[in-house]
Structure 1
Amino acid sequence: MSIPSSEDNEEIFLSCRYGDIEEVQEYTQKFSPEYLSKIRDDNGNTILHMISGNGHTDLLRYLLPLISPSLISTPNNAGSTPLHWAALNSHLSIAKELVLFPSGPGVDLIDIKNSAGHSPLAEAELAGWQEGAKWLVEVMNLESVTEENGMEDVGDTDTVDPNQDVQVEIEDADGQIAKMTITSS
Protein backbone atom coordinates (compact mmCIF):
# COMPACT_ATOMS: atom_id res chain seq x y z
CA MET A 1 0.00 0.00 0.00
CA SER A 2 1.16 3.48 -0.76
CA ILE A 3 1.12 6.62 1.36
CA PRO A 4 -1.56 9.22 0.55
CA SER A 5 -0.46 12.68 -0.56
CA SER A 6 -1.79 15.84 1.06
CA GLU A 7 -4.00 16.24 -2.03
CA ASP A 8 -5.40 12.72 -1.51
CA ASN A 9 -6.19 13.61 2.10
CA GLU A 10 -7.81 16.93 1.16
CA GLU A 11 -10.00 15.16 -1.40
CA ILE A 12 -11.07 12.46 1.05
CA PHE A 13 -11.84 15.10 3.67
CA LEU A 14 -14.19 16.78 1.19
CA SER A 15 -15.63 13.38 0.25
CA CYS A 16 -16.50 12.86 3.92
CA ARG A 17 -18.05 16.32 4.11
CA TYR A 18 -20.25 15.62 1.09
CA GLY A 19 -20.95 11.96 1.88
CA ASP A 20 -19.27 10.43 -1.15
CA ILE A 21 -19.00 6.86 0.13
CA GLU A 22 -17.57 5.50 -3.16
CA GLU A 23 -14.62 7.91 -3.01
CA VAL A 24 -13.98 6.92 0.61
CA GLN A 25 -14.13 3.21 -0.28
CA GLU A 26 -11.60 3.75 -3.08
CA TYR A 27 -9.31 5.62 -0.67
CA THR A 28 -9.48 2.81 1.92
CA GLN A 29 -8.70 0.23 -0.78
CA LYS A 30 -5.75 2.21 -2.09
CA PHE A 31 -4.37 3.35 1.31
CA SER A 32 -4.52 1.89 4.77
CA PRO A 33 -7.59 3.10 6.72
CA GLU A 34 -5.23 4.17 9.52
CA TYR A 35 -4.44 7.31 7.49
CA LEU A 36 -8.07 8.43 7.85
CA SER A 37 -7.59 8.96 11.59
CA LYS A 38 -4.75 11.42 11.00
CA ILE A 39 -6.52 13.81 8.63
CA ARG A 40 -7.35 17.26 10.08
CA ASP A 41 -8.34 20.61 8.64
CA ASP A 42 -7.03 23.98 9.88
CA ASN A 43 -9.63 23.97 12.70
CA GLY A 44 -8.66 20.50 13.92
CA ASN A 45 -11.77 18.86 12.50
CA THR A 46 -11.55 15.18 11.62
CA ILE A 47 -13.36 13.21 8.97
CA LEU A 48 -15.90 12.27 11.66
CA HIS A 49 -16.67 15.95 12.29
CA MET A 50 -17.44 16.33 8.59
CA ILE A 51 -19.59 13.20 8.45
CA SER A 52 -21.39 13.97 11.72
CA GLY A 53 -22.08 17.60 10.97
CA ASN A 54 -23.56 16.73 7.60
CA GLY A 55 -25.56 13.65 8.57
CA HIS A 56 -23.94 10.96 6.42
CA THR A 57 -25.05 7.87 8.37
CA ASP A 58 -24.13 5.28 5.71
CA LEU A 59 -20.61 6.66 5.45
CA LEU A 60 -20.28 6.70 9.24
CA ARG A 61 -21.38 3.06 9.47
CA TYR A 62 -18.83 2.14 6.82
CA LEU A 63 -15.94 3.94 8.51
CA LEU A 64 -16.45 3.26 12.22
CA PRO A 65 -15.14 -0.33 12.08
CA LEU A 66 -12.12 0.80 10.02
CA ILE A 67 -10.82 3.75 12.03
CA SER A 68 -9.40 4.11 15.51
CA PRO A 69 -12.28 4.28 18.04
CA SER A 70 -10.45 7.19 19.72
CA LEU A 71 -11.43 9.36 16.74
CA ILE A 72 -15.04 9.28 17.99
CA SER A 73 -14.10 11.42 20.99
CA THR A 74 -11.39 13.51 19.33
CA PRO A 75 -12.09 17.22 19.81
CA ASN A 76 -11.43 19.92 17.25
CA ASN A 77 -9.69 23.20 18.14
CA ALA A 78 -12.91 24.44 19.82
CA GLY A 79 -13.08 21.29 21.94
CA SER A 80 -16.12 19.94 20.08
CA THR A 81 -16.38 16.25 19.27
CA PRO A 82 -18.25 14.73 16.31
CA LEU A 83 -21.20 14.21 18.70
CA HIS A 84 -21.29 17.96 19.38
CA TRP A 85 -21.57 18.52 15.63
CA ALA A 86 -24.30 15.89 15.27
CA ALA A 87 -26.25 17.55 18.11
CA LEU A 88 -25.76 21.05 16.73
CA ASN A 89 -27.09 19.93 13.33
CA SER A 90 -29.90 17.68 14.65
CA HIS A 91 -28.66 14.35 13.25
CA LEU A 92 -30.20 11.67 15.49
CA SER A 93 -29.03 8.67 13.47
CA ILE A 94 -25.45 9.99 13.64
CA ALA A 95 -25.70 10.61 17.39
CA LYS A 96 -26.96 7.06 17.92
CA GLU A 97 -24.19 5.53 15.79
CA LEU A 98 -21.48 7.46 17.68
CA VAL A 99 -22.81 6.76 21.18
CA LEU A 100 -23.82 3.15 20.58
CA PHE A 101 -20.72 2.04 18.63
CA PRO A 102 -19.53 -1.03 20.61
CA SER A 103 -15.80 -0.21 20.51
CA GLY A 104 -16.25 3.49 21.23
CA PRO A 105 -16.46 5.52 24.42
CA GLY A 106 -20.25 5.06 24.61
CA VAL A 107 -22.41 7.32 26.76
CA ASP A 108 -19.32 9.06 28.15
CA LEU A 109 -19.36 11.07 24.92
CA ILE A 110 -22.43 12.90 26.19
CA ASP A 111 -20.45 14.34 29.13
CA ILE A 112 -17.59 15.87 27.11
CA LYS A 113 -17.66 19.66 27.21
CA ASN A 114 -16.24 21.86 24.49
CA SER A 115 -14.31 25.10 25.00
CA ALA A 116 -17.59 26.98 25.47
CA GLY A 117 -18.46 24.61 28.33
CA HIS A 118 -21.24 22.90 26.35
CA SER A 119 -21.85 19.17 26.28
CA PRO A 120 -23.52 17.61 23.23
CA LEU A 121 -26.77 17.67 25.26
CA ALA A 122 -26.39 21.41 25.83
CA GLU A 123 -25.73 21.89 22.09
CA ALA A 124 -28.92 19.97 21.30
CA GLU A 125 -30.88 22.15 23.73
CA LEU A 126 -29.38 25.36 22.38
CA ALA A 127 -30.27 24.26 18.84
CA GLY A 128 -33.85 23.57 19.97
CA TRP A 129 -33.49 19.92 19.01
CA GLN A 130 -35.85 18.30 21.51
CA GLU A 131 -35.86 14.84 19.91
CA GLY A 132 -32.08 14.58 20.20
CA ALA A 133 -31.96 16.08 23.69
CA LYS A 134 -34.57 13.58 24.84
CA TRP A 135 -32.63 10.64 23.38
CA LEU A 136 -29.34 11.83 24.93
CA VAL A 137 -31.03 12.11 28.34
CA GLU A 138 -32.54 8.64 27.96
CA VAL A 139 -29.16 6.99 27.32
CA MET A 140 -26.79 9.18 29.35
CA ASN A 141 -25.13 8.04 32.54
CA LEU A 142 -27.38 9.69 35.11
CA GLU A 143 -25.12 8.50 37.93
CA SER A 144 -22.38 10.90 36.78
CA VAL A 145 -24.94 13.72 36.55
CA THR A 146 -26.15 13.13 40.12
CA GLU A 147 -22.59 12.90 41.45
CA GLU A 148 -21.63 16.06 39.57
CA ASN A 149 -24.54 17.99 41.11
CA GLY A 150 -24.00 16.56 44.58
CA MET A 151 -27.21 14.56 44.47
CA GLU A 152 -27.57 11.22 46.14
CA ASP A 153 -27.43 8.13 43.95
CA VAL A 154 -30.54 6.00 44.57
CA GLY A 155 -28.62 2.82 43.70
CA ASP A 156 -29.81 -0.35 42.07
CA THR A 157 -32.09 -1.45 44.89
CA ASP A 158 -34.90 0.98 44.05
CA THR A 159 -37.38 -0.20 41.48
CA VAL A 160 -38.88 1.94 38.80
CA ASP A 161 -42.27 1.25 37.34
CA PRO A 162 -41.61 0.85 33.59
CA ASN A 163 -45.10 2.24 32.87
CA GLN A 164 -44.43 5.46 34.77
CA ASP A 165 -43.23 8.67 33.14
CA VAL A 166 -39.96 10.04 34.52
CA GLN A 167 -39.28 13.75 35.04
CA VAL A 168 -35.66 14.82 34.48
CA GLU A 169 -34.07 18.20 35.17
CA ILE A 170 -30.60 18.94 33.85
CA GLU A 171 -28.60 22.11 34.33
CA ASP A 172 -26.49 23.11 31.34
CA ALA A 173 -23.15 24.91 31.42
CA ASP A 174 -24.92 28.31 31.39
CA GLY A 175 -26.94 27.45 34.49
CA GLN A 176 -30.19 27.01 32.59
CA ILE A 177 -32.46 24.19 33.68
CA ALA A 178 -33.91 21.91 31.03
CA LYS A 179 -36.94 19.92 32.11
CA MET A 180 -37.88 16.82 30.19
CA THR A 181 -40.39 14.03 30.61
CA ILE A 182 -39.37 10.59 29.43
CA THR A 183 -42.54 8.70 28.61
CA SER A 184 -43.04 5.00 28.88
CA SER A 185 -43.93 4.52 25.21
Structure 2
Amino acid sequence: MAPPQLTEDEIDDLLYFARTGDQEELASTLTALAEREKVSTAEILSSARDDKKSTCLHMATGNGHLETIKYMLAQFRNRPNKQEKQAFLDAGNEFGNTGLHWASLGGFLEVVKFLMAEGASPALANDKNYVPLDLASFGEKFDVVDYFLAQSGGLEEENSAEGLKSAAQGVSLDGNGKGKEGDEEEEDVNFTLRAGDTTGGEGSSSK
Protein backbone atom coordinates (compact mmCIF):
# COMPACT_ATOMS: atom_id res chain seq x y z
CA MET A 1 0.00 0.00 0.00
CA ALA A 2 1.24 3.47 -0.89
CA PRO A 3 2.16 5.75 2.02
CA PRO A 4 -0.25 8.56 2.93
CA GLN A 5 0.00 11.59 0.66
CA LEU A 6 0.22 14.56 3.01
CA THR A 7 0.73 18.15 1.94
CA GLU A 8 3.34 20.36 3.55
CA ASP A 9 0.59 22.39 5.22
CA GLU A 10 -1.02 19.26 6.63
CA ILE A 11 2.29 18.10 8.07
CA ASP A 12 2.88 21.58 9.52
CA ASP A 13 -0.53 21.45 11.20
CA LEU A 14 0.15 18.07 12.78
CA LEU A 15 3.57 19.13 14.04
CA TYR A 16 2.17 22.39 15.38
CA PHE A 17 -0.61 20.67 17.33
CA ALA A 18 1.90 18.18 18.78
CA ARG A 19 4.34 20.96 19.70
CA THR A 20 1.69 23.04 21.46
CA GLY A 21 0.05 20.03 23.12
CA ASP A 22 -3.29 20.66 21.42
CA GLN A 23 -4.47 17.07 21.66
CA GLU A 24 -8.03 17.77 20.51
CA GLU A 25 -6.94 19.40 17.25
CA LEU A 26 -4.26 16.77 16.73
CA ALA A 27 -6.79 13.96 17.15
CA SER A 28 -9.39 15.48 14.84
CA THR A 29 -6.81 16.24 12.15
CA LEU A 30 -5.33 12.75 12.35
CA THR A 31 -8.78 11.19 12.09
CA ALA A 32 -9.74 13.29 9.07
CA LEU A 33 -6.50 12.56 7.24
CA ALA A 34 -6.68 8.84 8.04
CA GLU A 35 -10.23 8.65 6.67
CA ARG A 36 -9.25 10.52 3.51
CA GLU A 37 -6.16 8.40 2.89
CA LYS A 38 -7.87 5.16 3.97
CA VAL A 39 -5.09 4.36 6.43
CA SER A 40 -4.71 4.27 10.20
CA THR A 41 -3.94 7.27 12.39
CA ALA A 42 -0.68 5.49 13.26
CA GLU A 43 0.34 5.53 9.61
CA ILE A 44 -0.40 9.25 9.40
CA LEU A 45 1.78 9.89 12.46
CA SER A 46 4.60 7.81 11.01
CA SER A 47 4.47 9.69 7.71
CA ALA A 48 4.34 13.24 9.10
CA ARG A 49 7.91 14.60 9.10
CA ASP A 50 9.19 18.09 8.45
CA ASP A 51 12.14 18.99 6.22
CA LYS A 52 14.54 18.08 9.03
CA LYS A 53 12.82 14.70 9.52
CA SER A 54 11.36 15.67 12.89
CA THR A 55 8.10 13.94 13.82
CA CYS A 56 5.10 14.77 15.95
CA LEU A 57 6.78 12.77 18.71
CA HIS A 58 9.83 15.04 18.58
CA MET A 59 7.61 18.10 18.94
CA ALA A 60 5.63 16.74 21.88
CA THR A 61 8.63 15.30 23.74
CA GLY A 62 10.67 18.45 23.20
CA ASN A 63 8.02 20.49 24.98
CA GLY A 64 7.05 17.99 27.68
CA HIS A 65 3.47 17.26 26.57
CA LEU A 66 3.04 13.90 28.28
CA GLU A 67 -0.68 13.43 27.62
CA THR A 68 -0.23 14.19 23.93
CA ILE A 69 2.60 11.66 23.80
CA LYS A 70 0.40 9.04 25.47
CA TYR A 71 -2.34 9.71 22.94
CA MET A 72 0.01 9.33 19.99
CA LEU A 73 1.54 6.07 21.17
CA ALA A 74 -1.93 4.69 21.91
CA GLN A 75 -2.59 4.84 18.16
CA PHE A 76 -0.09 2.00 17.69
CA ARG A 77 -1.46 -0.40 20.31
CA ASN A 78 -3.55 -2.66 18.11
CA ARG A 79 -1.46 -2.46 14.97
CA PRO A 80 -0.52 -5.84 13.44
CA ASN A 81 3.08 -4.76 12.84
CA LYS A 82 4.64 -4.37 16.29
CA GLN A 83 7.77 -2.85 14.76
CA GLU A 84 5.72 0.12 13.59
CA LYS A 85 5.49 1.54 17.10
CA GLN A 86 9.18 0.91 17.77
CA ALA A 87 10.13 2.73 14.58
CA PHE A 88 8.02 5.72 15.61
CA LEU A 89 9.50 5.74 19.13
CA ASP A 90 13.09 5.58 17.93
CA ALA A 91 12.80 7.72 14.78
CA GLY A 92 15.72 10.10 14.47
CA ASN A 93 15.66 13.48 12.79
CA GLU A 94 18.38 14.58 10.38
CA PHE A 95 20.78 15.04 13.30
CA GLY A 96 19.98 11.58 14.68
CA ASN A 97 18.11 12.88 17.71
CA THR A 98 15.12 10.83 18.85
CA GLY A 99 12.18 11.91 20.96
CA LEU A 100 14.05 10.53 23.97
CA HIS A 101 17.03 12.76 23.16
CA TRP A 102 14.80 15.85 23.12
CA ALA A 103 12.93 14.93 26.30
CA SER A 104 16.23 14.25 28.06
CA LEU A 105 17.81 17.56 27.10
CA GLY A 106 14.64 19.38 28.10
CA GLY A 107 14.65 17.69 31.50
CA PHE A 108 11.15 16.26 31.19
CA LEU A 109 11.63 13.36 33.59
CA GLU A 110 8.08 12.00 33.46
CA VAL A 111 8.23 12.00 29.66
CA VAL A 112 11.57 10.20 29.76
CA LYS A 113 10.16 7.59 32.13
CA PHE A 114 7.10 7.03 29.94
CA LEU A 115 9.13 6.71 26.75
CA MET A 116 11.42 4.20 28.42
CA ALA A 117 8.45 2.21 29.70
CA GLU A 118 7.07 2.13 26.16
CA GLY A 119 10.35 0.73 24.85
CA ALA A 120 12.29 3.75 23.58
CA SER A 121 15.99 2.95 23.30
CA PRO A 122 18.35 4.94 25.56
CA ALA A 123 21.36 3.56 23.66
CA LEU A 124 20.74 5.22 20.30
CA ALA A 125 23.39 7.83 19.52
CA ASN A 126 22.90 10.94 17.39
CA ASP A 127 25.28 12.16 14.70
CA LYS A 128 27.63 13.54 17.37
CA ASN A 129 27.64 10.11 19.05
CA TYR A 130 25.66 11.41 22.04
CA VAL A 131 23.01 9.25 23.69
CA PRO A 132 20.06 10.78 25.61
CA LEU A 133 21.99 10.53 28.89
CA ASP A 134 24.69 12.79 27.44
CA LEU A 135 22.18 15.46 26.44
CA ALA A 136 20.59 15.41 29.88
CA SER A 137 24.05 16.05 31.31
CA PHE A 138 24.74 18.90 28.87
CA GLY A 139 21.46 20.53 29.88
CA GLU A 140 22.23 20.00 33.58
CA LYS A 141 19.05 17.96 34.01
CA PHE A 142 20.50 15.89 36.79
CA ASP A 143 17.26 14.21 37.83
CA VAL A 144 17.13 12.73 34.33
CA VAL A 145 20.82 11.81 34.53
CA ASP A 146 20.22 10.07 37.87
CA TYR A 147 17.26 8.19 36.40
CA PHE A 148 19.31 6.89 33.46
CA LEU A 149 22.15 5.87 35.75
CA ALA A 150 19.73 4.04 38.03
CA GLN A 151 18.35 2.17 35.01
CA SER A 152 21.74 1.13 33.68
CA GLY A 153 22.27 -1.81 36.01
CA GLY A 154 25.17 -3.13 33.97
CA LEU A 155 27.25 0.02 34.37
CA GLU A 156 29.15 1.34 37.34
CA GLU A 157 27.90 4.81 38.22
CA GLU A 158 31.45 6.11 38.55
CA ASN A 159 32.38 4.94 35.07
CA SER A 160 29.20 6.38 33.58
CA ALA A 161 29.82 9.74 35.20
CA GLU A 162 33.38 9.75 33.88
CA GLY A 163 32.07 8.97 30.42
CA LEU A 164 29.72 11.93 30.62
CA LYS A 165 32.56 14.19 31.68
CA SER A 166 34.61 13.12 28.69
CA ALA A 167 31.68 13.50 26.31
CA ALA A 168 30.99 17.00 27.57
CA GLN A 169 34.52 18.27 26.95
CA GLY A 170 34.49 21.10 24.45
CA VAL A 171 30.78 21.80 24.87
CA SER A 172 30.01 25.09 26.59
CA LEU A 173 26.42 26.06 27.30
CA ASP A 174 25.25 29.64 27.65
CA GLY A 175 22.44 30.77 29.91
CA ASN A 176 19.79 29.60 27.47
CA GLY A 177 21.31 26.13 27.16
CA LYS A 178 22.55 26.77 23.63
CA GLY A 179 25.98 25.51 22.72
CA LYS A 180 28.37 28.42 22.30
CA GLU A 181 30.05 26.49 19.54
CA GLY A 182 26.81 26.97 17.62
CA ASP A 183 26.87 23.62 15.88
CA GLU A 184 23.81 22.31 14.12
CA GLU A 185 22.86 19.79 16.76
CA GLU A 186 22.72 22.43 19.51
CA GLU A 187 20.40 24.50 17.29
CA ASP A 188 18.32 21.40 16.69
CA VAL A 189 17.52 20.86 20.35
CA ASN A 190 17.90 24.34 21.82
CA PHE A 191 14.21 25.14 22.08
CA THR A 192 13.60 22.09 24.27
CA LEU A 193 15.60 23.65 27.08
CA ARG A 194 12.88 26.18 27.75
CA ALA A 195 10.06 24.34 29.51
CA GLY A 196 6.70 25.21 28.00
CA ASP A 197 8.24 26.91 24.98
CA THR A 198 5.85 26.77 22.05
CA THR A 199 7.57 29.29 19.83
CA GLY A 200 9.61 26.58 18.23
CA GLY A 201 13.17 26.51 17.04
CA GLU A 202 15.40 24.60 14.72
CA GLY A 203 13.57 21.42 13.79
CA SER A 204 10.12 22.73 14.79
CA SER A 205 7.24 23.96 12.70
CA SER A 206 5.40 27.20 13.12
CA LYS A 207 1.89 28.22 12.34
TM range (shorter): 0.7 to 0.9
Task: Give the CA deviation at 1:128.
Answer: 0.5
Q: Tell me the equivalent position of 1:24.
A: 26
Q: Tell me the equivalent position of 2:95.
A: 78
Gapped runs of 5+ residues in structure 1?
A: 147-166, 178-185
Alignment of 1:144-159 (within 5 A): 145=155
* 2:58 and 2:99 in contact (8 A); partners too: yes
Q: Tell me the equivalent position of 2:126.
A: 114
Three-state SS of the structure 2 residue aligned to 1:137 is helix
Which of the pair is proportionally richer in strand? 1
Of residues 89, 106, 109 in structure 2, which corresponds to 1:89? 106
Which of the pair is proportionally richer in helix? 2
Alignment of 1:35-74 (within 5 A): 35-67=44-76, 68-69=84-85, 70-74=87-91
* 1:118 and 1:173 in contact (8 A); partners too: no
* 2:134 and 2:168 in contact (8 A); partners too: no
Paired positions, count: 148
Q: Deviations over 1:16-37 (max 9, x none)?
A: 1111000111123222311111
TM-score by length of 1: 0.73
Shift in alpha-carbon separation, 1:20–1:132, aligned structure 2, 3 A: same
Higher relative contact order (CA 8 A, sep 6+): 2
Of residues 129, 132, 145 in structure 1, which corresponds to 2:144? 132
Three-state SS of the structure 1 residue aligned to 2:133 is helix
Shift in alpha-carbon separation, 1:93–1:4, aligned structure 2, 3 A: farther
Tell me the C-alpha RMSD between the 2 structures: 2.1
Gapped runs of 5+ residues in structure 2?
A: 35-39, 77-83, 170-207
Q: Tell me the equivalent position of 1:169.
A: 159
Structure 1 stretch displaced more, 24-33 or 35-44: 24-33
Q: Tell me the equivalent position of 1:159.
A: none
Task: Give the CA deviation at 1:75.
Answer: 0.7
* 1-structure distance, mates of 2:50, 2:11: 10
Letter in 2 for 1:44: K
Structure 1 stretch displaced more, 6-15 or 84-93: 6-15
**Bigger Rg over Cα:** 1
Identity %: 26
